[in-house]
Amino acid sequence: MKTLLASLACLAIAGASHRTSVSMQISRSWSIDSLGACQGIARLDGRLFLYGDREIGLIREYKLEKDTLVWIGKEYKLTVNDSDVINHPTGIAYRKGLPTFIGNSVRLNPEGTKWKAIIYSVNWEGLLKTGTLDGNLLNTIDDDACIQGTRPEYIQYNKKWYVATADYGGKANEVRLYDPALLHKAKKTSEPGVVVKKFTCSPWVQNLHWIPGKNILVLIQNQLEGRKWRFTFLDFEKSMATGTEQVIKVVDLNERPDELEGFTFLDNMAEGIAVSSSRRQNANKMTISWEK
Q: Where residue 124 sits, what CATH number does that domain have?
A: 2.115.10
Task: Give the count of domains, the chain.
Answer: 1
pLDDT at 251: 97
Q: pLDDT at position 173, please?
A: 94
* 3-class secondary-structure state, position 11: helix
Dihedral in degrees, nearest 10, Cα atoms 41, 23, 204, 104: 10
User: What is the sign of the dihedral through the CA atoms of 176, 179, 183 and 189?
Assistant: negative
CB atoms within 10 A of CB 28: 14
Each of the 292 residues of the chain gets a pLDDT tens digit; together they read: 444 334 334 433 333 345 578 999 999 999 999 999 999 999 999 999 999 999 999 999 999 998 899 999 999 999 999 999 999 999 999 999 999 999 998 877 776 667 789 999 999 999 999 999 999 999 999 999 998 889 999 999 999 999 999 999 888 999 999 999 999 999 999 999 999 999 999 999 999 999 988 899 999 999 999 999 999 999 999 999 999 999 999 999 999 999 999 999 998 889 999 999 999 999 999 999 998 6
**Boundaries of domain holding 67:** 2-291
Looking at residue 282, its amino acid is N
- DSSP letter at 188 equals B
Q: What is the pLDDT of residue 3?
A: 40
Q: How many CB atoms lie within 10 A of CB 45?
A: 8
Alpha-carbon span 165 to 178, nearest angstrom:
8
Rounded CA-CA distance 229/274 in Å is: 10
